[in-house]
Amino acid sequence: MPLKYPTTSRTLLDKLASGDEISWDEFFIRYSPIVKAIAIFKGLSESDADDICQQVMTQFFQQSRRFKFDPGIARFRTYFGRIVRSRIADFYRRKREIPVAEFEPLPVEPETERLFMDEWRRMVLNEAEMQLRELVTPETFQAYQLFAVQKRPMEKITAYLNCSPNQVYQAKKRCFAKLREILRRMNEQDPELKLELSTYDIPER
């Protein structure tokens, strides 16, 4: 079963280009938290960040019919990041509060780039878990989630799922093995992400 990678998926972008509303909804759900996090980091209010998010998504939607993904030219992440920074620059240009040059696409401040990558990794890891869910039984995935992700006590997990501790351990082992393979393939497509199981320790906002 081929694994889909949302950050550079030709399939998703091709669907967007053809005006597929379901794919657009999926795109918005995946990428809007990244836009909002960067906007707030740049000093925008919650309301203004929401407006920037709408502007970014609208611009990409308008350009998506002409956009052709070519990893040999630039990563989709780079292309998307430029749209985000451009919209934020426009916001401050209108406000005339700080020099627009601070928000030029290049150079990018290390703190902004670090946050952008963290948010991107978070989105990709969410996709990895979605893929994992499709590769194992619901019982296995639930045991893995409760034990490895939510860190629930073993005795509560076994009572809730009516299973043995060994079954929980085996579920974790099976899921980790599949996750490593999913992350390995994602890293092949975007080595800069450097995804590992330990990446799941990225703190929540």
Instruction: Give me the domains of the chain, ranges plus CATH numbers.
Output: 1-108 (1.10.1740.10), 125-205 (no CATH)
Q: Which two tokens stand for residue 67?
A: 């956009």
What pLDDT, in 10s, does the model give residues 22-46?
677 878 888 899 999 999 999 999 9
What pLDDT was estimated at residue 153? 96
Long-range Cβ contacts of 66-71 (<8 Å, 24+ apart): 66/17, 67/13, 67/16, 67/17, 69/8, 69/10, 69/13, 71/8, 71/189
Rounded to whole angstroms, the Cα distance separating 117 from 20 reads: 27
Q: Which has the higher per-residue pLDDT, 103 or 139?
A: 139
Rounded to whole angstroms, the Cα distance separating 147 from 142 reads: 8
What pLDDT, in 10s, does the model give residues 77-104?
887 888 898 898 888 888 765 554 554 4
pTM score, whole prediction: 0.70
